[in-house]
Structure 1
Amino acid sequence: MTSPQEKLLPATRRALLHRIATAQAEGRAPSLVAAVVRGGKAVWHGSRTSVDGHGPDENVQYRIGSITKTFTAVLVLRLRDEGVLDLGDPLEKHLPGTGAGEATIAELLAHTAGLAAESPAPWWERTPGSLRPELADVLGEQPHRLPVGRRFHYSNPGYTLLGALVEELRGAPWEEVLRSELLEPLGLHRTSAQPQAPHAGGWAVHPWADVMLPEPVENLGRMAPAGQLWSTAGDLARFAVFLAEGDPRVLSAASVLEMRTPAAPAEAEDVAAGAAYGLGMQIQYRDGRNLVGHSGSLPGFVACLTISVEDDLAAVVLANCTSGPLTATVAADLVRIVAEAEPRIPDPWRPLPEVDQSLLELTGPWYWGTHVAALRLAADGGVSFGPLSGNGRRSRFRANGDETWTGLDGYYAGELLRAVRRPDGSVSHLDLGSFVFTRQPYEEGAPVPGGVDPEGWRGIR
């Protein structure tokens, strides 16, 4: 049987090893472990260590910090999909009395609730969670720093509130809900709230000398939903597959796509950096590639999980140092190395097994005024609609089963596309959010807003 290590070309494997070796050496990390995922499974893993003969493998736990937030977001989306809550609900509706209940659940997920970035002193990442036993201890006397809903402002206490929301609606501790609803169904048996051997120790490396200091390992208590988890390269590789494809046992493909979709207004510096935030997931545009996932850090550890859905690739990088390798950059580089050396081979084109002739007649060019757009059938029964070439309003649509389609992305996201027929059954026009598209520009007899000049098209007289 071919091992996962042999599924990438030797030159690609060496390039990946070179990248993590450089990261470990230049970042002065006591150890670093990485994995690459393609085709729904791990196809490569590698590690580097400062101790000969003790290189970590994909089953060694590291603390993953804020990647925990993505796990918490999945639990919240499950509640939404079950109809227990709506993302537009104010937190106060389900978790009253926090002092931050004006913010909606979506705003908490997207870090637009205006809450403080951190809990009140002392620094929560390096002190016991027992110092903050209640939500009031996490939020402080003035939870907000900015107006609710106005801008992106990363907030660790915001995810503490989401964890408390999960506990309130499930009637069980966040850790128990996480294990039963996410970790066990996905087979993430090496992901846990407390470290389980074998696990790496966390270290601080002196900035001006090659010496180290052990970092304390704290139980974060109430702050756990924001950054408590320990995991492995192997488990995070499996989690990456789920975040790209969904799993009906946990969350649908449509819901994980929603998590990966920008939900927070970006600041100028975020736009310049090509960064955005979805619902519990960071979004980055790097080297012409759309990358989604999350980074994480806690004293003694840095981590990153990143996914390129279009390339069918993901990468995980974990290291046990407080500051050192830029794991987000390394993970993006691992994706790029494989994507460039062994680009994804497209699935074969195949004709549709069957087609509804009444839908087939809707395909082709349609005119809004003098602008031409084309409607094309998709294999899943939906359609795409947009310019024949170049830039313009272009969207994919989901079929509703009654000659209407709902926009999935782009300008027409959420808008209704409808085929309007004449009394004899022939197609009159398409209606898209009040825009009338006809088979000919300003077609005579069509219900074009403002009417059509009865003299028709003409030259200069």
Structure 2
Amino acid sequence: MLKKLCLALALLVMPLPFVATAHAQGQSLNDILEPVRKEVGLPALAAAVIKDGRIIASGAVGTRVLGRDIPVTIDDRFHIGSDTKAMTATLAGMLVDEGKLRWDSTIGEVLGADLPGIDPTFAKITLEQLLSHTSGIPTDTKAIYEQYVDGKAYEETLSQSRLRMLRAFGKNPLKVDPNPTFHYANLGYVAAGAMIEKVAGETWEELIRRRLFDPLELKTAGLGPQATRGKFDAPVGHDVDDKGKITPRPWGPGADVPAGLGPAGVAHMSILDFARWAGWNAGEGKRGPALVKPETLKRIHRQHVTMTLENPPPGTPKSGGYGLGWGIAASPWSDNRPVLGHNGSNTMNLATIMVDPQRDIGIVVTTNFPGPKADEALQSLVRTLYQRFAK
């Protein structure tokens, strides 16, 4: 089964009660989350709203494992999938600011010595094209997925695994489109991650911890499956097969996508830390820490390509834009102004983030269950919370 992580933005509206809680968490959202969780049949559901750099509302309800009575807490770690991509783009921006990379640095220029025999069309792909999904690399195919799960990965470091994937795919010529065309490509972010670690002299995993998680004080942030092996100390993902059979996936290789895909989407963190990441972006970094220059963050946030998708995944707009790790779309509930957003899923968990820098507000919603109904619930909550708190 292909592990696809896709973006989204969109959707219903209910009044929210006010319940005073600890100031770090804001008012409780549990009274609105619990009915949604029960109606959709989700094990766990969490959400948070950050405005002007302060968490003003949050909540977490349900159980860590479907069928077990293990209540979630507000500090529990949820998998955020492809919402990691904006973090990878931010790491790239740091290295651009330091002169170690350029937005137009190419795969061949940075990784050529490590990727002998790659096709010239692949070698010419730029960092910016990789991060905006305009490189010509396709959405995950069977051949690409086979590289993700190749048994050689058990004999390699994660950096070596990424280079192996690129060597295998890069031997094939790409169809060069004169106009930027959007193709959501996890492999493109694998390539960007390889470029980042080559010029930095550190692995992507080291860099994201040292240069993003630590400065932002995302103390619950980590990589890979969110539960500690042998413990149910976080909401674990759930696999749903074609016949509807549900299987919890707490640990081991089946609990997440292959680790070599890190730059494309393996981060996890609590809903409060996820909200802090949203708030940093909503404030455009002005409250600190100064991870990148203001103009660099604006470049990451601005639209680079228009998306027109046929048969898009659930929750993904048929049209809109894409920046560098961020989807961009306008909706009636945002007064038809474009806002930033992204969905993340490793097919066992689901997370969504919405950021509106103009109103300095961020909204994050997570669950440990996949599927269209879960996606609809998360998007509905984004709309509800935005209408309640942004205006």
Partner SS, residue 266 of structure 1: strand
Residue correspondences, number: 336
TM-score (structure 1 length as normaliser) = 0.65
| Structure 2 match to 1:164 | 194
Letter in 2 for 1:318: T
In structure 2, distance between residues paired with 1:272 and 1:239: 23
Q: Structure 2-normalised TM-score? A: 0.75
1:114 CA drift (Å): 0.2
Partner residue, 1:314 = 362
Q: How far did residue 224 of structure 1 move?
A: 1.3
Partner of 1:212: 246
Where do 5+ consecutive residues of structure 1 fail to align? Answer: 345-461
| 1:58-457 matches, cutoff 5 A | 58-96=74-112, 98=115, 99=118, 100-118=122-140, 120=143, 122=145, 130=153, 133-138=161-166, 139-140=168-169, 141-142=171-172, 144=174, 147=177, 150-194=180-224, 195=226, 197=228, 198-205=233-240, 212-215=246-249, 216-218=254-256, 220-245=258-283, 246=285, 247-267=288-308, 273-287=318-332, 288-327=336-375, 330-344=377-391
- 1:381 match: none
| Equivalent in the alignment of 2:48 | 35
**What is the CA-CA distance between 1:338 and the residue it aligns to?**
4.2
The answer as to whether partners of 2:227 and 2:235 remain within 8 angstroms in 1 is no
> Contact 1:107–1:113 (CA<8 Å) still a contact in 2?
yes
Residues 36 and 335, structure 1, Cα contact 8 Å, conserved in 2? no
Deviation at 1:254, TM superposition (A): 3.0
**Measured at CA, do residues 233 and 335 of structure 1 come closer, stay the same or move farther in structure 2, by a change above 3 Å?**
same
Give the CA deviation at 1:268: 6.7
Q: What are the superposed Cα offsets for residues 399-440 of structure 1, whole Å, 9 maximum, x if unpaired?
A: xxxxxxxxxxxxxxxxxxxxxxxxxxxxxxxxxxxxxxxxxx
Q: Which has the higher helix share?
A: 2
Alpha carbons 2:137, 2:174 under 8 Å: kept: yes
CA contact (8 A) 2:239 2:348 kept: yes
Query: Which amino acid in 1 is paired with 2:104?
Result: G
In structure 2, give the amino acid aligned to 1:217.
A
**What is the CA distance between 1:23 and its match in structure 2?**
3.9
CA distance in 1, matches of 2:390, 2:55: 16
CA distance in 2, matches of 1:95, 1:52: 48
Instruction: Tell me the equivalent position of 1:410.
Output: none
Conservation of the 8 A alpha-carbon contact between 1:128 and 1:220:
no
Gap runs ≥5 in structure 2: 1-19
Cα displacement (A) at 1:274: 4.3
* SS in structure 1 at match of 2:59: strand
Query: Contact conserved, 1:90 with 1:105, CA < 8 A, in 2?
Result: yes
SS at match of 1:167: helix
CA contact (8 A) 1:237 1:316 kept: yes
| Aligned amino acid, residue 60 of structure 1 | D
CA distance, structure 2, for counterparts of residue 58 and residue 128 of structure 1: 37
Shift of 1:95: 1.8
Structure ID, larger Rg: 1
Query: What is the CA deviation profile of residues 247-300 of structure 1, one whole-angstrom value per residue up to 9, with x for unaligned ones?
Result: 343123332222111011333769973421001111121222422132110031
Residue type at the aligned position of 1:212: I
